[in-house]
Chains A and B, each alone.
Chain A
Amino acid sequence: MTPWEPRTRAARIGDRGLFPDLEAFAYLNHAAISPPSSEVARAISAVVATYAREGVGALREWLPQRERLRARLGALIGAPPERVALSSSTTRAVVDVALCLPWREGERVLCLRGEFPTNVTPWQRAAETFGLEIVFLDADAFRTPRGLEELGRELERGLRLVAVSAVEFQTGLRMPLAEIARAAHGAGAEVFVDAIQAVGVVPLDVVALGVDYLACGSHKWLMGTEGAAFAYVREGRQLVPRVAGWLSHEEPLRFLFEGPGHLRYDRPIRTDPTFLESGAANAIGLAALEASVAILGELGVPAIFDHVQRYHDALEPALLERGFESERDPRLRSGILSVRPPRGVELPELHQALAERGVACSTPDGRLRFAPHWPSSVDEVPRVVEALDECLR
């Protein structure tokens, strides 16, 4: 019997009953790190209890859990489970794909200025290693048709890969992935998506969008813990297993469980993306991720997205009235509402003062960023505004 089963009925949009210990009355930092729900804590306790009781025997319980998790993650992004590989962080997944693409010297990779370095550094390192060229466009250019026009010009010059985030971490701009992928594919290029600011809050279908590769960590909108993540590789895209480990082979566990004669070093490396699951996994983080993703699946990402927009719709006018400048795009919305402060308002002090009044938000690169999620209640918005007014006095 499985020691833990998802129990999602207690989760309701706008109700933080599963977060009894959360101190901030308005936790608006899901674009940074989500607090674990009591369901996540229960899953973590179950893993630890099983290992404490059974030692290696716990694998019998928790290896099948990873199959379930791949299926749940696949369902969340519209991908077949066999195209999903579990990982330890967005960075790990980006680095693995960057090292394993079948590069040819001289190929060009497009990165975007303004993105989190997670989706830039690995491509720069791949460029050093494989003799590639990195070119940049401004992420913010994609607010208007200018972004796609500039992309088109770079594609005409020749690109192998476009590395883009699904949602920009500073501004909350949801990137036009379908248009980017269509343009890229039309020119023989592929698209890599860092989806950590999207999956769990923005509906996303990798097959419909035409995404070729995707990486996503667990601790933001997926509401798991740090140290768990996943990668997606489109069917037909074959990576070169430069980062393979002992668990990347076909039937890697036979020599441990099936008697003598099975210890071999010539078993082929698996061709599906699960070869990226190359060594011992973070059992605790993956179980936590399944617990949180089960809730997201139950609530439904489109409903979560609508809820978060209602929150932003309530908060944004109050910010504008107080002189903040919103970067929320009316067409390309996400879970993030970022505003630039009026002249004379020092963000570090404002951020600290808000925190002291129970409003948890963040300040990426000169913005005040609000990132509520499904447990956030729209009813708390007047208190957030009240706290803001106290801080601005």
Chain B
Amino acid sequence: MPAVTGPHPVVCPWCFESVELYVDPDTRGLFVEDCEVCCRPWAVHVERDARTGEAVVVRVDRAG
């Protein structure tokens, strides 16, 4: 199993820069991470395919 999955292309909801996101293979649900461009906080939502475990939805909202 790879150390991380990705890249998942996302757009920062603060600065609207395109950023590639990598997530740990066992991550699912919600975690907080800062944008690598503007450093403002994201709420990252990860949903996975129940069968394959593959990250199928990676959504980024504003946090904080």
Q: Which residues of A contact B (CB under 8 A)?
A: 102, 104, 235-236, 238-241, 268-269, 271
Q: A236-B58, A238-B13, A238-B60 are in contact. List 13 more A-B contacts (CB 8 A).
A: A102-B16, A102-B18, A104-B18, A235-B59, A236-B45, A236-B57, A238-B16, A240-B16, A240-B18, A268-B14, A268-B62, A271-B13, A271-B61
Question: With the chains together, A263 CA to B9 CA distance in Å?
Answer: 35
Q: Which A residues lie within 8 Å of B61 (CB)?
A: 271
Query: Known contacts A104-B18, A236-B57, A240-B16; is A271 also within 8 Å of B9 by CB?
Result: no
Question: What residues make up the interface of B, taking CB atoms closer than 8 Å to A?
Answer: 9-11, 13-14, 16, 18, 45, 57-62
A residues less than 8 Å from B59 (CB atoms): 235-236
| Separation of A104 and B7 alpha carbons in the complex (Å) | 15
The minimal Cβ–Cβ distance linking A159 to chain B, given in whole angstroms, is 14
Bound Cα distance from A111 to B58, whole angstroms: 27
- CB of A240 within 8 A of CB of B11, answer yes
Residues of chain A within 8 A of B57, CB atoms compared: 236
User: Do the beta carbons of A102 and B14 come within 8 Å of each other?
Assistant: no
Q: Most chain-A CB neighbours within 10 Å: which of B11, B18, B58, B62?
A: B11
Complex CA–CA separation, A240 to B58 (angstroms): 17
Complex Cα spacing A288 to B6, Å: 46
Verify A241–B16 contact, CB threshold 8 A.
yes
- B10 proximity list for chain A (CB < 8 A): 238
Pair A238/B11 contact, Cβ less than 8 Å? yes
Contacts of B11 in A (CB 8 A): 102, 238-240
Interface residue SS majority, chain B: strand
Q: For A241, what are the chain B residues with a Cβ–Cβ distance below 8 Å?
A: 16
Q: How far is the CA of A240 from the CA of B16 in the complex (A)?
A: 5
Q: Which residues of B contact A235 (CB under 8 A)?
A: 59
> Which A residues are in CB contact (< 8 Å) with B13?
238, 271
Closest 9 CB pairs of A and B: A236-B59, A238-B11, A271-B13, A102-B18, A240-B16, A102-B11, A236-B57, A238-B13, A240-B11
Closest to A235 in B: B59
* C-alpha spacing A102/B45, complex, angstroms: 19
- Distance, CA A94 to CA B21, complexed state (A): 28
Cα distance A102–B62 when bound, in Å?
A: 17
Which residues of the other chain, B, contact A269 by a CB distance below 8 angstroms? Answer: 16
Question: Which residue of chain B has its CB nearest to the CB of A268?
Answer: B14
State A5–B58 Cα separation when bound (angstroms).
41
Closest to A238 in B: B11
Which residues on the A side are within 8 Å of B16 (C-beta)? 102, 238, 240-241, 269
Q: Give 26 pairs: A residue, B residue, CB < 8 Å, sorted on A.
A: A102-B9, A102-B11, A102-B16, A102-B18, A104-B18, A235-B59, A236-B45, A236-B57, A236-B58, A236-B59, A238-B10, A238-B11, A238-B13, A238-B16, A238-B60, A239-B11, A240-B11, A240-B16, A240-B18, A241-B16, A268-B14, A268-B62, A269-B16, A271-B13, A271-B61, A271-B62
Query: In this complex, which of A102, A235, A268, A269 has the most chain B Cβ atoms within 10 angstroms of its Cβ?
Result: A102
Which residues from B are CB-within-8-Å of A238? Answer: 10-11, 13, 16, 60
Minimum CB–CB distance from A265 to chain B (whole Å) comes to: 16
CA distance A271 to B11 in the complex (A): 10
A271 to B35, CA, bound (A): 15
Q: Which A residue sits closest to B10, measured CB to CB?
A: A238
A268 to B12: give the CA distance in the assembly, Å.
12
User: Hey, which chain A residues are within 8 Å of B58, CB to CB?
Assistant: 236
Closest partner residue, chain A, to B9 (CB atom): A102
Query: Nearest Cβ in chain B — how far from A85, in angstroms?
Result: 16
**A274 CB to nearest B CB, Å:** 14
Q: How far is the CA of A236 from the CA of B8 in the complex (A)?
A: 12
In the bound complex, residues from chain B placing their C-beta under 8 Å from that of A104 are: 18
CB distance from A319 to the nearest CB of B (A): 47
Complex formed: what's the CA distance from A235 to B60 in Å?
10
Residues of chain B within 8 A (CB-CB) of A102 are: 9, 11, 16, 18
